Homo-oligomer: A and B are copies of this chain.
Amino acid sequence: MPELRKDPVIGRWVIISTERGKRPSDFPGEPRKRSTKLCPFCPNNESSTPPEVYSVRENGSQPNAPGWSLRVIPNKFPALRIEGDLNREGEGIFDKMNGIGAHEVIIETPDHLKDLANLSVEEITRTVQAYKNRIIDLKNDARFQYILIFKNQGEAAGASLEHSHSQLIATPIIPKRVFEEIEGAKKYYEYKERCIFCDIYRQEIQDGSRLIVRNEMFVSLTPFASRFPFEVWVLPTNHNSQFENISDDEAGAFAEIMKITLSKIAGALNNPAYNFMIHSSPVDGLNKNAYHWHVEIIPKLTRVAGFEWGTGFYINPTTPEDAAQFLKEIE
C-alpha cells in the first residue's frame, strides 16, 4: 500500500510508493564527462570571468591571476542585476519590479577534475567560510531580503559548466518557498514553544531508521516526507536560524558531514547529478527561535511531471527508510 506523508514544516503531502521500491541500481546515474575545452573557471583563464569579489590566495599572488585556491566572481550571465533601484509598480492588476539582486559563483577548487565531495575537509571548510563571508558582506545592502547559497552539479541538475562551483543569489523579496517554511516553523513554535527542526532531528536520532550519519555538531538524514528518492537533509544540532552565524568549529564539522554525505550519495548512485540548497533565515533575522538553518540535497533521479505541477505534491518511488539504509551502508 502506498503511503501519504505530510511534511511537518510546510504541510506538503507526498506519496511514498513503497511497492515500486526503487533501489539505487534502478537509477541511471550520470558518470561525469570531463571536457578538455577551455574552462573559464580554471587557473590561467581568470580574465574570461568578471573580476573576483573574494578569493583565497597564496601570499603575493595578484587578484584575477593564478595562485588561488578558491575564487568568488559575479555570474557573467546574472539572473538579477546588481545596479539600480527596485521601482516597484503595478500594471493593471499585476505587480512588477526591476530584477535587482546579486548573482555570484563560488569556484570551490582550481582543480578541474575534482568534485566537491573529492576535496579535503580543509578545502570544503574554505568553501563554507566563503559562503559565510559573502553573505555577511551582501547583508549590508539594504535592497536584499534573502540570500540563497546553492549548488547544481551535473548537466541534469542544471549546471552549465562542469568545473565544481556553487552559486549565491541575493533577492529583493523573500521567496515564497522560504516564507512558507518560516510560517510553518512559526506555527509550530507558537503551539509548542520548541523549534520544529530540533524536534525532527531529535526524533530521528532516537528512531534511527532515517538517520544516515552524525558527528559532534551535525546530523544527516532522509526526511520523513521526502519528495525525491535519496533526498537528504543536513542539520546543525545547535539551534541556529542563520547559516552565516556558523562558528569556525561548526564550519569544519559541517564540511566533514557534507563530504561524508555527498560521497555516500555519489557511491550509492553512480555519481548522480544533484542540487543542494542552504535554507537559512531571511536577512531580517526574525523568528530566531522558530527557524533552523539546514541543507537540502536532491539527487536528480526522477522527472517532475504533470501530477507534480498540477498539485504541488510528489510521488517518491523509494522510501526514505530504504534510502537511509543504502546510504548508511556505503563506506
Distance, CA A175 to CA B312, complexed state (A): 7
Among A57-65, A92-100, A127-135, A255-263, the one that faces the other chain is A92-100
Q: Hey, which chain B residues are within 8 Å of A224, CB to CB?
A: 91, 94
Among A5-13, A38-46, A115-123, the one that faces the other chain is A5-13
Q: Hey, which chain B residues are within 8 Å of A277, CB to CB?
A: 306, 309-310
Among A79-87, A234-242, A323-331, the one that faces the other chain is A79-87
Interface string of A1-41 (1 = CB under 8 A from B): 11111101011110111001000000000000000000000
Among A48-56, A176-184, A214-222, the one that faces the other chain is A176-184
Given A81-B1, A151-B306, A309-B298; A6-B175 close (CB under 8 Å): no
Among A66-74, A105-113, A199-207, A244-252, the one that faces the other chain is A199-207
Q: Count the copies.
A: 2
Q: Hey, which chain B residues are within 8 Å of A232, CB to CB?
A: none
Q: Hey, which chain B residues are within 8 Å of A77, CB to CB?
A: 20
**Nearest Cβ distance between residue A18 and chain B, in whole angstroms?**
8
Q: Is the CB of A99 within 8 A of B171?
A: no
Instruction: Indicate whether A301 reaches chain B with its CB closer than 8 angstroms.
Output: no
Instruction: Indicate whether A169 reaches chain B with its CB closer than 8 angstroms.
Output: yes
Q: Hey, which chain B residues are within 8 Å of A15, CB to CB?
A: 79-80, 99
Q: Is the CB of A306 within 8 A of B225?
A: no
Q: Is the CB of A311 within 8 A of B175?
A: yes
Q: Is the CB of A158 within 8 A of B94?
A: no
Distance, CA A5 to CA B225, complexed state (A): 31
Q: Is the CB of B200 within 8 A of A2?
A: no
Distance, CA A259 to CA B127, complexed state (A): 52
Q: Is the CB of A307 within 8 A of B169?
A: yes
Q: Is the CB of B6 within 8 A of A199?
A: no
Given A158-B304, A277-B306; A94-B6 close (CB under 8 Å): yes
